[in-house]
Amino acid sequence: MKKVFFLLVCGLFCAIAFAQEPVTFTAEQDHQNMLDQLGIKSIRRGFDADEKSPYAANYDESKANPFPVLPEILKTKAGKKVTTAKQWWNVRRPEIVEGFESEVYGRVPDNVPAVTWTVEVEEVEFVGRTRAKVKQLRGHADNSACPSINVDIKMVVVTPADAKGPVPLLMMFGQANLPNPVKPGGEDMAVINKALRRLLENDPETAELMKKYPAWQPFEPANPFAAFMRPQQQTPGQDPPSNQQLLAAGWGYAMIDPSSIQADNGAGLTRGIIGLTNHGQPRKPDDWGSLRAWAWGAARGLDYLETDPDVDAKHVGIEGVSRYGKAALVTLAFEERFYMGLIGSSGKGGATLHRRIFGEGLENLANSGEYHWMAGNYIKYCATESKTGAWTADMLPVDSHELIALCAPRLVFISYGVPEKGDALWLDQYGSWQATVAAGEVFKLLGAKDLGLSNDYRKEPMPPVLTGLLDGELAWRQHDGGHTDGPNMKYFIEWASGKIQKK
């Protein structure tokens, strides 16, 4: 009897806990909660882009490397040199994954729910001048454990309508909208217009107007040839939009909306997929941040793509720019089913070294504006006063060269623009170059090609703008545009297509 009573009490307690309303914090309150959990009293302030600020970011290369020695990729925690692929996969790679999960991006929890995909719209549209099969999807995360939090992942999948078989596909982080929704034709539009006119004629505010314009129709019927009649808005010499380039090359693309997975702010950490797995309660220090959550969502999108007969699921890539460039690299590193990645202008938290003090700093990612991207533990590396003392970036067990290395031997294209066009020095292009050079050791170990240089990240000079290093599975190119990877898309498609054909 006592045992039965105990089980009933436990069950009631669990039901009450699960039925709790999600905690509502501001980003500042949630950030302070994490500081309290970590026993941190103060942290270093983030840097400012304004050069006149007393906290201005450093752009002096002579001051950028107070911690010039990176963690050795091919040396285990026990100090043993890694010389075989088996040692990498069985020992060293798991050690690096653990470092990133515990201290940088956080862990995906064991109770993360299943996602069920539904095709809500399927039609043939014109994207540029290409007939494309378009599917609008919703991926519903099972929220039975916490019904007050709903997560519906938005994704659009677009493939060439006339493809002879499954095609490679590039998944891109961004708004998941239909590219060119089919509009009603003449007869259908006539029915809609009649219904609208009846409503307007019966409305006191618009009835007189309808009498004044008896022949007017609220909507014009769609012209089936409009896609071919519209004047081209493209500037002479400018490349078509990335989605049109992909379709023209015989590829497909998918757009997945990060905000439908997890909000891009600290106040949202008790909602979205992170909040759902925590039943609306605040994070613990090694819980996942938004970057890892977005990566998890992309992997769930890949789950769907593996069931789509129009997609060559063995050759799916991930793409993003800026914060979504960070997310794309995290996705490629942790989800081995992705075959390739185009990593655009990712900066700190992406391809740029955490140890570098140049432009955006670790401190910016640890303060209340951006901390939600990372695990809570990441904050302690800029602590000035805490229960465990002061911390620095040099105490991180891992760095971004190892994040790139986790992608090996798959295809990784690191892309940047130039500061004068808007890809600001804040992003530290050179710090990403160093990380890419250093990561090459692992590509070589696994039988892939890297940049074709030595792996001495302190000596190899960054190539001139428009000089692509595109022979290996690891690639680098800095274009002469701004904060976008658009100018590198055609190079990425040609590079990746060549690698696919050789397999």
Cβ-based neighbours of 404, under 8 Å, separated by 6 or more = 329, 333, 351, 412, 414, 435, 436, 439, 474
- Is residue 13 included in any domain, yes or no? no
In 10 A of CB 156, how many CB atoms? Answer: 21
Quick one: which of 387, 438, 375, 471 has its CA closest to 106?
A: 375
Q: Are residues 464 and 370 in the same domain?
A: yes
Shared domain for 81 and 211, answered yes or no, is: no
> Do 370 and 313 have their domain in common?
yes
Global confidence as pTM: 0.91
Note whether residue 434 is domain-resident. Answer: yes
Beta-sheet pairing, 130-141 with 152-160: antiparallel
Confirm whether 411 is domain-assigned: yes
CATH number at residue 460: 3.40.50.1820
* Same-domain check for residues 260 and 365: yes
Same domain, 129 and 201: no
Shared domain check, 174 and 200: no
Structural domain contains residue 258: yes
Mapping DSSP to helix (H, G, I), strand (E, B) and coil, where does residue 173 land? strand
356 and 440 together in one domain: yes
pLDDT category of residue 211 using cuts at 50, 70 and 90? confident
On whether both 342 and 401 belong to a single domain, the answer is yes
**Closest by CA position to 176, among listed 56, 381, 324:** 324
Q: Which domain holds residue 299?
A: 61-180+243-502
Quote the number of domains for the chain: 2
The pLDDT confidence band at residue 221, using thresholds 50, 70 and 90, is low
For residue 145, being part of any structural domain is answered with yes
- Residue 170 has what pLDDT? 98
Within a domain: 43:
no
Amino acid sitting at position 262 = Q
Higher pLDDT, 312 or 216: 312
Q: Is 28 a domain residue?
A: no
Three-state DSSP class for 158?
A: strand
| Same domain, yes or no: 316 and 418 | yes
| pLDDT, tens digit, 9 for 90 and up, residues 384-416 | 999 999 999 999 999 999 999 999 999 999 999
Q: Is residue 364 part of a domain?
A: yes
Judge if 174 and 208 occupy the same domain: no
Q: Do 443 and 294 have their domain in common?
A: yes
Task: List the beta bridge partners of residue 173.
Answer: 256
pLDDT in tens, 86-113: 999 999 999 999 999 999 999 999 999 9
Question: What digits encode the pLDDT tens for the residues 327-355?
Answer: 999 999 999 999 999 999 999 999 999 99
Asked if 307 and 355 sit in the same domain, the reply is yes
